[in-house]
Amino acid sequence: MANVKVAVVFYTMGGTNYQMAQWAESAAKEAGAEVRLVKVQELAPESVIQANEVWNTTVKTIENVPVATSEDLEWADAIIFSVPTRFGNIPSQMKQFLDMQGGLWATGKTVNKVVSAMTSAQNPHGGQEATLLALYTSMMHWGAIIATPGYTDPVLFGAGGNPYGTSVTVGQDGKMIEDVEAAVKHQAKRTVTVAEWVKKGSQA
């Protein structure tokens, strides 16, 4: 292991992407990486959050998780994102976080970061793939290296077979419909492996 450092950056409203981020964190650590689990800053008004029982509970659940900063991205060799779908795109909270990284981008500090992403939606065709592609578009501008899971392991088919990144359908009860834990962990370990290749190559 070439001392790979991984930032797992998530946004969640109902807890799904926090759980996926935790699985990714666990798998990356198993793969020998040093990991930071961080959330993006919540932007929604407190009154709106408090009016939604699930959202309010989730905010309290993750209150001790550090808020993601530019320093976390600069520190990391690899970044794993986990975000819900919002009309086929990423949530505004994550979009603002990415938009605030102009300083890193302008100084070349996003170049060759290995990135991978996961998502969720209430319907299997509710924009999951579009959300991942939207996030990856920003990563192309960063000069990052996108490490998708593709079809590199049979566990991906049990999770719906999304080659762009693990995605899960969340039912009206707030529970995940597909069993995606193994797929998330495979994707995280693959991301660490690719980051190790890149890091070793850059040091050769």
pLDDT recorded at residue 2: 63
Are the C-beta atoms of 84 and 15 separated by less than 8 Å? no
pTM for the predicted model, two decimal places:
0.96
- The fold of the 5-203 domain, in CATH, is Rossmann fold (3.40.50)
Instruction: Give, in degrees to the nearest 5, the angle at Cα 36 between 153 and 139.
Output: 65
Q: Which residue ranges make up each domain of the chain?
A: 5-203
> φ and ψ at 167, to 5 degrees?
-135, 150
pLDDT recorded at residue 111: 97
Is 80 exceeded by the pLDDT of residue 190? yes
pLDDT recorded at residue 201: 87
pLDDT digits (tens, 9 = 90+) for 94-150: 999 999 999 999 999 999 999 999 999 999 889 999 999 999 999 999 999 999 999
Are the C-beta atoms of 10 and 83 separated by less than 8 Å? yes
